[in-house]
Structure 1
Amino acid sequence: MKIKTCLIGAICFGLNASAWAFGEVNHWSSGWGQGTTEYVVKGKGQSQLYIGCNPDKAMFVMFTDPTGQSVDNYDGLTQTRTFSVSVDGGEPIAFNDVVSRVGVDNVYVAWEKLRKGKAVTVTGDKLQPAHFTLNGAGKVLPAFGQSDCKIGAAIPGD
């Protein structure tokens, strides 16, 4: 009886494991939890591009390279490291400065390119580049003004 119970538990655990992992390789996904709308695409290895939007906080963006090293917008604020997106082979656009005037302009431009492009290459300081599909991104990422993302002067004060 004990073996049967353990076997059933192991099968249920295995079936539910995919529900615990957010995002799929080469597929844009969105979710919501604890007041934050999340958008993510995963690539080869441990690479992923993550965007978190909470109406009460600044937009959070993070790039993780194929080896698992990451950089986010807090690195951009401290001017320690940045990351850029290059959509369909275009010029790289800095994507992790969500506060400065130039950074905010870049985020708006990059967001629209992510929604309309075919592929994106993400590069960062001391990180390996990663390539992600943009197939389906336009259906997952809403127009920026319709998202919960707050950048620049729109960031609520403490």
Structure 2
Amino acid sequence: MRTTLPVVAAALLMTVAGCSDKAATLRPGVLPPGTAVLSVDGKDVGTTYSVRCETIDWMTRIHTGIDGAGVNAMLSNADNLTAEFVRLHDLNGFTGSYEHRLQGEASVTMTGPTYRITGAALGFNKSEPTRLRAETFSVKVSC
């Protein structure tokens, strides 16, 4: 009985250490699952762990949220990885959207399970609600 407890404790420590090493060794450009990092106009909006992703066939819908603000996006992998739409809701006061072939511009890259969507959205800022403007954005999200 005396030797069992130290052996079990050592095995438990090795397991915990093994798990923490894996979490700490993410490849560059990869976020932990369920994480999103957002920016608008080059300003960091924040990191959220409120991420929902749903994939059906070649379409992936992504929703993130930070205190009532967030991003909704639809990505397609039918031919090439493309953004069908990106809708920004009150990020640093900006609300706007990119719509494939209609307004704005966006590109998508993927590193492991992490999408990086960058581009420009057309919309309004709370500071000047009557002036239509284009703002750059970056959404880095891991489903």
Tell me which interval the TM-score lies in, with the shorter structure as reference length: 0.3 to 0.5
TM-score normalised by L of structure 1:
0.33
TM norm structure 2:
0.35
Instruction: Answer with 1 or 2: which has the greater Rg.
Output: 2
